[in-house]
């Protein structure tokens, strides 16, 4: 019998390939009869890996996770490309590509580390005049997407056996690994597309701590898999408030800042439970904490 008691918390899910992120959370919602559910960032259907899911009050943390850096384990196939830049698209062969030696490959990859403007894939969910660019492309319309500022923190070659290149990429939000494959392929003059993609981390959370979707769906309750909000919120500094401070915050007032820091957000805990996401501000020239989001973690 399914345990229908309401729960607030987070799930670390290892999403399998060939299922959408939306279908993944819909399966969880239906199985455990969850009132409110969401995820912290879409993985393409062909891709697998870490999907962070918010349950009930946990959904209030998802927007903060979108800002986190990600790590991907990707396999590119050189010597060809596809119209979608991934394994699902129509293959386009590159005439007479030459096999790049490892030393040239490393030099090219190094050129992509750092801040840069990246053009998103035309087959994407980016909206143009209210419509997905992928839908416009399928209708035969020619579109131009605006380059976006992203940052590649690190690229490491995991394996290279031409035509397959396996790399690990640490990058900022908004980075498209499919676009990275396209741009690396252009620089190498071989072409490239993403043959396989796994998101291994949404820093500081790792796929190593995630539960397989099929195993989660075999459970009768989420109790053993769900992470309490107070335990999950390790990507923000914590402050601990007392009863008087809690009442002030509930009434829309600020409280004096207990720390001097430059972090954007803080997690306020009351009696061991997450009570609010705070922002640092000033009031009467004094540093203070103000509520950005109340969390009703009963």
Q: Which of 157, 183, 202 is the last residue of a domain?
A: 202
Residue 64 lies in a domain: yes
Q: pLDDT at position 57, please?
A: 96
Q: Please list the pLDDT of the chain residue by residue as tens digits (298 residues).
A: 444 447 899 999 999 999 999 999 999 999 999 999 999 988 999 999 999 999 999 999 999 999 999 999 999 999 999 999 999 999 999 887 889 999 999 999 999 999 999 999 876 666 666 667 666 667 666 767 789 999 999 999 999 999 999 999 999 999 999 999 999 999 999 999 999 999 999 999 999 999 999 999 999 999 999 999 999 999 999 999 999 999 999 999 999 987 666 678 999 999 999 999 999 888 888 889 999 999 998 7
Domain stop point among 183, 202, 221? 202
pLDDT (0 to 100) of residue 284 = 84
Residue of 35, 40, 37 whose CA lies nearest to 63: 40
pTM of the predicted model as reported, rounded to 2 decimal places: 0.92
- What is the total count of domains within the chain? 3
Is 3 inside any structural domain?
no
- Whether residues 158 and 94 fall in one domain: yes
Q: What's 211's domain CATH number?
A: 3.30.2350.10
84 shares its domain with 177: yes
CATH number of the domain enclosing 251: 2.30.130.10
Q: Which residues are catalytic?
A: 44
Which value, in Å, is the radius of gyration of the alpha carbons in the chain? Answer: 22
**2 found inside a domain:** no
Write the CB contacts of 62 (distance below 8 Å, at least 6 apart in sequence).
Answer: 38, 39, 40, 52, 54
In a domain, 97, yes or no: yes
Q: What is the pLDDT of residues 218-249, one digit of tens each?
A: 999 999 999 999 999 999 999 999 999 999 99
Would you call 226 helix, strand, or coil by DSSP? Answer: coil
Same domain, 273 and 263: yes
Q: Are residues 76 and 39 in the same domain?
A: no
Residues 129, 174: one domain? yes
- The CA angle 207-16-109, to the nearest 5 degrees, is 60
Q: Identify whether 46 is part of a domain.
A: yes
Q: Which of 185, 202, 219 is a domain's end point?
A: 202
Q: Under a CB-based contact definition with an 8 Å cutoff, are residues 216 and 112 in contact?
A: no
- How confident is the model at residue 139, as a pLDDT? 60
Three-state DSSP state, 291? strand
Taking the C-alpha atoms of residue 143 and residue 155, their distance in angstroms, rounded to an integer, is 30
Mean pLDDT (the chain, rounded):
91
**pLDDT tens-digit profile of 191-205?**
999 999 999 999 999
- 265 and 147 co-located in one domain: no
Asked if residues 169 and 180 have their Cβ atoms less than 8 Å apart, the reply is yes
Same domain, 158 and 47: no
Phi-psi region of 189 (alpha: psi -120 to 50; beta: other; left: phi over 0): left
* Same domain flag for 101 and 221: no
pLDDT of res. 4: 46
Same domain, 78 and 169: yes
CA–CA dist 157, 87 (Å, integer): 20
Residues 145 and 59 reside in one and the same domain: no
Q: Which helix (H) or strand (E) holds 4?
A: none
Residue 149 lies in a domain: yes
Residue the block writes with tokens 């009132």: 35
Q: Are residues 110 and 196 in the same domain?
A: yes
**Is 1 domain-assigned?**
no
Residues 109 and 42 in one domain: no
Q: Is residue 4 part of a domain?
A: no
The domain containing residue 168 runs over which residues? 70-202
């Amino acid at each position: 019998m399914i345990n229908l008691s309401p729960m607030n918390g987070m799930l670390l899910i290892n999403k399998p390939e060939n299922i959408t992120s939306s279908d993944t959370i819909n399966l969880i919602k239906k199985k455990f009869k969850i009132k409110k559910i969401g995820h912290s960032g879409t993985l393409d259907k062909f891709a697998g890996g870490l999907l962070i899911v918010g349950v009930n009050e946990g959904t209030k943390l998802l927007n903060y996770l979108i800002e986190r850096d990600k790590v991907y384990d990707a396999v590119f196939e050189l010597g060809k490309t596809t119209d979608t830049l991934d394994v699902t698209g129509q293959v386009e062969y590159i005439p007479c590509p030459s096999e790049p030696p490892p030393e040239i490959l490393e030099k090219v990859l190094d050129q992509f580390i750092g801040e840069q403007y990246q053009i998103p894939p035309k087959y994407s969910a980016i909206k143009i005049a209210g419509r997905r660019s992928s839908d416009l492309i399928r209708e035969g319309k020619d579109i131009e997407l605006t380059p976006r500022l992203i940052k590649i923190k690190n690229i490491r070659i995991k394996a290279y056996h031409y035509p397959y290149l396996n790399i690990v990429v640490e990058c900022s939000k908004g980075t498209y690994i499919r676009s990275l494959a396209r741009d690396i392929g252009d620089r190498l003059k071989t072409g490239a597309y993403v043959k396989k993609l796994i998101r291994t981390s949404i820093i500081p959370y790792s796929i190593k701590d995630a539960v397989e979707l099929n195993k989660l769906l075999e459970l009768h309750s989420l109790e053993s898999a769900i992470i309490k909000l107070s335990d999950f919120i390790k990507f923000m500094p914590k402050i601990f408030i007392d009863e008087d401070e809690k009442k002030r915050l509930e009434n829309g007032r600020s409280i004096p800042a207990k720390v001097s820091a430059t972090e954007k957000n803080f997690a306020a805990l009351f009696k061991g439970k997450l009570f609010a996401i705070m922002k640092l501000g000033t009031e009467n020239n004094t540093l203070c904490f103000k509520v950005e989001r109340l969390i009703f973690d009963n």
